[in-house]
Amino acid sequence: RMQRTDWGRRPLTPQQMTYAQLDTHYLPALRRRQIERLTAQDRLREAQEAFDFLCQIRYSEPAEPRNLWSMKGTREVEREQTGLLEELWLWREQTAQRQERPPFKVVNDRVLIELALNPPSSLRELGEIPGLSRHQVDRYGSEILRAVHRGKDRPLPDLPVSSPRPEALLNRRDQKLYQSLRQWRSATAGERGVDPDIIFSNDLLLQIVEHKPATVEALVAIPAIGAWKAETYGPSILQLLK
């Protein structure tokens, strides 16, 4: 509940202050416990390497701008209703931008889907839409009905173009190598009792296939493969690459 409260309003409520304080209060104790457990399991160096890499990640804008296909549930809407859904989505985006609020603070994704599935023609019908509060109907009702009216005549949006999986672009030899690395990763993860991504992500496996390092030094030169992973897994990987 507190995650969706209005943190831009001042003064903060006592509940918000308590929530914010508790958000960090236990972190020092948790850090000490994590270090103790990682040290006992001989995983501290591995974890520290992963933490260091995470600190180097820099945010970049998505390659594709936001659009209605980024919403969950769009596949529930029939193709002929997607013009209406897009109009509702655009109304919400513009309203959120004007109010300097996150879109879900206007109405959530599920409400937009319900509006497209059962377009209302009156405030009474709008009030029956699941997930739409009386306050939202009072505040946005007329705007939503106008968006519904516009959306009925809106051209259908282009369907999203799905990109091929990166491994599908590999040649046959490299695909076989990629699968061998995945099998090795699964077996190693099983032996260690960790998720496969803790060993290497799919993206890193693809980079290994692309660069085909012949030495441990060449392996550690691949971004995000630190010295610990190169030393620990390098011999097995280099053997598979031969």
Contact assessment for residue 107 and residue 95, using Cβ atoms and an 8 Å cutoff: no
pLDDT attached to residue 126: 97
pLDDT attached to residue 36: 98
What is the CB-side half-sphere exposure of residue 52 using CA atoms within 13 A?
A: 12
Q: What mean pLDDT is predicted for residues 142-157?
A: 97
30 inside domain: yes
pLDDT attached to residue 63: 67
Q: How far apart are CA 132 and CA 104, in angstroms?
A: 12
130 and 180 housed in the same domain:
no
pLDDT in tens, 217-232: 999 999 889 999 999 9
Q: How far apart are CA 49 and CA 225, in angstroms?
A: 9
Run of H or E residues at 144: helix 134-151
Q: What mean pLDDT is predicted for residues 59-80?
A: 86
Total of domains in the chain: 3
Helix (H/G/I), strand (E/B), else coil: 234: helix
pLDDT attached to residue 174: 96
Torsion from C-alpha of 66, 68, 73, 78, nearest 10 degrees: -160
Report in angstroms the alpha-carbon separations of 48 from 33, 45, 101, 185, 196.
Answer: 14, 5, 37, 21, 18
Q: Supply the CATH number for residue 133's domain.
A: 1.10.150.80
Contact assessment for residue 232 and residue 49, using Cβ atoms and an 8 Å cutoff: no
Of the three residues 127, 151, 175, the one that is the final residue of a domain is: 151
58 inside domain: no
Helix (H/G/I), strand (E/B), else coil: 206: helix
143 and 170 housed in the same domain:
no
Rounded percentage of the chain residues whose pLDDT exceeds 90: 83
25 and 76 housed in the same domain:
no
Kindly state the DSSP code that residue 105 receives in the 8-state scheme: H
96 and 144 housed in the same domain:
yes
Listed as own residue / partner, the contacts of 3-9 with beta carbons closer than 8 Å and 24 or more positions apart are 4/104, 4/105
The domain in which residue 6 lies consists of 2-41
87 inside domain: yes
33 and 90 housed in the same domain:
no
| pLDDT at 94 exceeding the cut of 70 | yes
pLDDT in tens, 105-137: 999 999 999 999 999 999 999 999 999 999 999
The structure's pTM equals 0.69
47 inside domain: no
pLDDT attached to residue 61: 75
Residue in 216, 206, 223 with CA at minimum distance from that of residue 238: 216
Kindly state the DSSP code that residue 58 receives in the 8-state scheme: -
Run of H or E residues at 25: helix 14-25
Q: What mean pLDDT is predicted for residues 12-28?
A: 93
Listed as own residue / partner, the contacts of 5-13 with beta carbons closer than 8 Å and 24 or more positions apart are none
Rounded percentage of the chain residues whose pLDDT exceeds 70: 99
Maximum separation of any 2 CA atoms in the chain, in Å: 71
Residue in 107, 192, 177, 182 with CA at minimum distance from that of residue 148: 107
